[in-house]
Structure 1
Amino acid sequence: MARKRTKERPPYAKASGGFATRAVHAGEARHGVGGPVATPIVQTSTFTFESVEEMKRWAEGRSKADIYTRYGNPTLRVAEAKIAQLEGAEAALVTASGMAAISSTLLTLVGAGEEIIATRQLYGGTYRLMRDELPRLGIKVRHVEPDLNGVEPLVTPRTRVLYVESPTNPTLQIVDLSKAVALARRFGLTAVIDNTFATPVLQRPLEHGFDLVVHSATKYLGGHSDIIAGAVAGPRRLVERIRQTVINFGGTLGPGAGYLRLRGI
């Protein structure tokens, strides 16, 4: 039996307005050249500084000015604010694919010698990541059925994450979210869910107590089958750690796809 670990669940920001209002207006900034109604596509790799002093402030960590789109971009921040509002999260980030979101999340939370418990029914890309790539990095993945009855015997002192997908892609099996959260809390695990198929229109896992939500925005959040994108939403302290992993591994979404993501929502 693993030692019992406890953690506090951070409060989540309450979104203002109804769901449709948030889908349209959340994160939108009414400024820019000419005062555009639509969010502009800031199609640039790099940004200028107004002065050497401003650049120095950025280098010293005293400025949040944009410098390079892999680190951040105004178009992408609007998409991130919108996802955070729809999921009821403190923060969100967008990525170049759903797999970039999933892999960056897991690589942030779990290291060599540590373990993940995941439901067996998963999106094929996620399953292959867990079967082929994570073991090469010294990360062990143990699988359970969607009923989660087999979780307790698999927990060890090295287990860090309980990962579920509900509804599953493409078999549409359902996981009991409250049961998953109760198990994660009991054993001090970080609870992560892939909410791609339900979307925050139908299911908001953070309200059930999940720590993190991941998405393939290629699907319903994109809506037009013309982008590849992903997202992560949750407490700011975790999202910002995952953001650094995304930056380091190059999984940043491009501004053009970020705009199409906004249109899809």
Structure 2
Amino acid sequence: MIKWCRKQKIKVEPSLEQQGAEKLLEIGAQLYQARQAQALSLERVAMQTMIPRRLLKAIEAGNLEELPEPIYIQSYIKQYADALGLDGTDLARNFPIEDRQLQLKPTQRILPAAQLRPIHLYLLYLFVVFWAVNALSHTLSRNQLQDSSFQRVQQILPTQTRSPQSDIQPVSSANHDSKPVKVSVTLKAQSWLRVTADGKTAFEGTLPQGTQRTWEAKEELTLTTENAGGVLVQFNQEKAQQIGNPGQTQEVTFAAANQRL
């Protein structure tokens, strides 16, 4: 007797991350073609959408590693497509994101009623009485100890006591609003900038040629640009100078007390 075995092929569905990478390549190519057809630069689109140039470039290249969470990528795709005159809502819907909504089903658990015998109730009553007497005794003892301590302190202290205000020394208030770090920027060419003052982002975006801006910080200020050759920087009262070569990404940190990191 001969037995035949039929092999069944199992189809493996791609993961959500793989689906997102494939869709991003397709969407990025479509956005790139639309931008080229309108002869728009990434800098122009970045100024219009307020999306950093590096993120727009990563979307066109389908590079997920350079992009944030999928929910933010979907929002960037919508803004980018709307700026090019496309249907941003429909295009962004094609990019898959994980549905994190969990459906919670209420569970009911019926516990059996405790069966207490009279002896158990009697022991419980004794425990409650013992605990109440203990708590009352502890409270009375603590009050008596505080009263005796207070009387002893009154006997030790002299009759004439100084005014509490006599011990208060005037404290000179420091000027906490001072900002020792001052950086002025003049753009020789259109450039993307990110300015961080004392750990907080003060500005991020693309500025046109000829723009002059000034930022201040208390401790340190960090300036990042993707076109170092087009940026002239003046730190406090120093002479303005170029911080790099054209098209070069550069990050410079200025600290208080005339120390540059």
Which protein has the bigger strand share? 2
For the aligned pair, the TM-score class normalised by the smaller chain equals: under 0.3
TM-score (normalizing by structure 2): 0.19
